Structure 1
Amino acid sequence: MVWKVKHEEFESSIACDDGIELRASLVVDASGFASTFTEYDKPRNNGYQIAHGILAEVDHHPFDLDKMVLMDWRDSHMGNEPCLRANNSKVSTFLYAMPFYSKFVFLKRLPW
């Protein structure tokens, strides 16, 4: 587990609790809004993400068991065609599928 991140001019180092130290030119902190690794120079408003998901038991699914599938629907290619874009504000824009077994898959969607 990471317990310390140190940033220098061209490189960062990551210290792990098992004694391992990693060096990188780019570090992405994906630990959420309560991260202790990020320092801010002024107060900020945290954002929150709402998602809906289900663990579905199915007869079969088309997903590879050792891969997670991300589907990101963007409609910028449709231009300003009202008939094509009419329902896009009512449907999800992002979906992921995480298969567990041949008959179980977790599906999660994010609204606009």
Structure 2
Amino acid sequence: MNQSRSRSDDGGEETAFQDHDHRENERRWQQERLHREEAYYQFINELSDEDYRLMRDHNLLGTPGEITSQELQQRLNGVKEQLASQPTLRNETNNRGGRSRTELFENRSNETQ
């Protein structure tokens, strides 16, 4: 009878350990996502207006927190290389409308409130 009680106690300890481990993993994941999100907005903020328009107009901005600043830089470099090889695309990009960088940041601040 004591053996069955000790078995159930061990299961409780294991479950508590798993719960703690799960909470710790979740906290770590949230911190990593927040770090990526902050890096995303810093990268966007440091872009020139022309580079921002290129990324916006070619739908390369991605989702904050899901894309790294390195991936954003690779996308920017890729679209610049593409435009250099096809100069007629530059005029199309400059004439397209879309959300401004200010609107992007306003939307972010509204989401966090």
Whose radius of gyration is greater, 1 or 2? 2
TM-score (norm 1): 0.21
Q: Which has the higher strand share?
A: 1
| Larger RCO (CA under 8 A, 6+ residues apart) | 2
